[in-house]
Amino acid sequence: MERVESPETYIDLFLAHVAEISEDATLSDRLIGFINTNNLEEDRLEKIGNVFSNLINVSGKRVYYLPSVYEQKNVAIPPEERLHHACIYADLATIKKIAAQSPELLDLLAGSPQLSKLMIAARYAPVAVVQFLLENGADASITDSDGWDALHHACQAGSLEAAELLAFEKSLNATTTDGATPLMLAAGNGHFAVVQFLLKGGADTSIKNANGVNALHSACQGGSLEAVQLLILKIDPNTIGARGTPLMVSVYCEHLAIVEFLLEEGADPALTDTNGWNVLHHACLSGSLETAELLASHIDLNVTMTGGQTSLMAAAQNGHQAIVQFLLGKGADASTKDSAGCNALHFACIGGSLETVQVLTSHIDLKATTTSSQTPLMLAAQNGHFTVIQFLLEKGAETSITDSNGWNALHIACEAGSLEAAELLT
């Protein structure tokens, strides 16, 4: 078998190797055979092992046998490291053996990040491993360097059975160093069953993290409509956190079903975040045409955010030509300027989407200038958008106009260092 250098390539090679050998061979034999065939150096085993840890199932079984690979290569590893790997790969026999010999290792924080064995099992292993560790004295209240305990890890991973074992009263509402609760972590990762369990257990929905984010914000990011439907019974849909309202979060994450549900439940689309952005601004930034179409009937298309920008400008700068066309068709005002005197065409020329520029030139004068007397052509030259410059010139854009510094488009292209633009403009 050919030797390769990229660790990721070993996944494909290993799967090919598995297919070549007997179906009754154990996974450990397969993995050891593969390692030996490729003659891997000892200092590469850990790196390759990390790649293999992503192989969740091979022939219906987990890859549990990285410690066996170390032994086969005569690499001495301490019990702590063996226990760490055993918890990741759910090797319960090894866990039991080491726990009997060195029970103090169960609560020792190790690895990067620093995790206890119970945290590792809660995140990666079947519930039987979590149960064994708890029955043998593992401390569920220990936290890692980020303030996460085992329940936080179980909720992040979506392990309902592990969460049920770990959710004793004093940890149910424990917060991490940035203020996240188990409920927020389950909601933020779309784990509806875990959210449902935590709520039945009395999880506090009023808690906010350091950024003012609550569990409903998290659920709108996680994308579980069922979780949102549960949490909205307890949390005001118009609360504002660092990323705005729950509706804004669902818009930005493009969870259309959640957007529709929140609007039906009274979420206010006119609210703005700390930048003065409303939900339509966010939809135009993210580029979701379906979301923009849904929101356009709920909000004024020409409302400006901080700095005077409109939704049309946000879509234009980010090259979302379909949204630009939709907004124009619904009556968005293309002549509106922001506090710097930029209109939607100026923003499109900054962004560089030729298709968007082509749509807007039918609505906006090519000679329109900003407060610093810059034309769309100058902004395209400043940003090196060759095809946009070429199109604007074909449409009759004037190259002789100068800005407030006395610079024309050629000056600006040369200052920006764009040879192609300079050649077009000479």
Q: What is the pLDDT of residue 232?
A: 97
233 part of a folded domain: yes
145 part of a folded domain: no
**CATH of residue 199:** 1.25.40.20
312 part of a folded domain: no
Average pLDDT for 32-51: 51
Q: Are 287 and 260 in contact (CB under 8 A)?
A: no
pTM of the model: 0.78
131-165 per-residue burial string, b: 16 or more CB within 10 A, e: under 16: ebbbeeebebebbbeeebbbbbbbbbbbbbbbbeb
234 part of a folded domain: yes
Q: What is the pLDDT of residue 88?
A: 78
Distance, first Cα to last Cα, the chain:
59
DSSP per position, 98-151: HHHH-GGGGG--BTTTTB-HHHHHHHHS-HHHHHHHHHTT--TT---TTS--HH
pLDDT of 204-256, one tens digit each? 999 999 999 999 999 999 999 999 999 999 999 999 988 899 999 999 999 99
Q: What is the pLDDT of residue 28?
A: 46
Domain that holds residue 213: 179-268
Amino acid, res. 395: K
pLDDT of 117-171, one tens digit each? 999 999 988 899 999 999 999 999 999 989 999 999 999 999 999 999 999 856 7
129 part of a folded domain: no
Q: What is the pLDDT of residue 41?
A: 52
Q: What's the rounded Cα separation, in Å, for the pair 389 and 58?
A: 54
Most confident of 15-19, 28-32, 166-170, 270-274: 270-274
- Split into its structural domains, the chain has a count of 1
Q: What is the pLDDT of residue 55?
A: 41
Q: Are 120 and 133 in contact (CB under 8 A)?
A: no
398 part of a folded domain: no
pLDDT of 328-359, one tens digit each? 999 999 999 999 999 999 999 999 999 999 99
- Expressed in percent and rounded to 5, the helix, strand and coil fractions of the chain are 55, 0, 45
Q: What's the rounded Cα separation, in Å, for the pair 382 and 396?
A: 18
Find where tokens 């990721």 sit.
Answer: 8
231 part of a folded domain: yes
Helix (H, G, I), strand (E, B) or coil at 97: helix
Q: What is the pLDDT of residue 21?
A: 44
* Higher per-residue pLDDT: 349 or 53: 349
Separation in Å, CA 296 to CA 98, 255, 260, 322, 326: 62, 16, 12, 14, 10
User: Does the structure show a pLDDT above 90 at 267?
Assistant: yes
Average pLDDT for 405-418: 91
Q: What is the pLDDT of residue 195?
A: 98
263 part of a folded domain: yes
Q: What's the rounded Cα separation, in Å, for the pair 119 and 99?
A: 16
Average pLDDT for 263-280: 93
Q: Is the peptide bond before 113 cis (omega within 30 degrees of 0)?
A: yes
Helix (H, G, I), strand (E, B) or coil at 355: helix
User: Does the structure show a pLDDT above 60 at 57?
Assistant: no
**Which pLDDT band, with edges at 50, 70 and 90, does 32 fall under?**
low
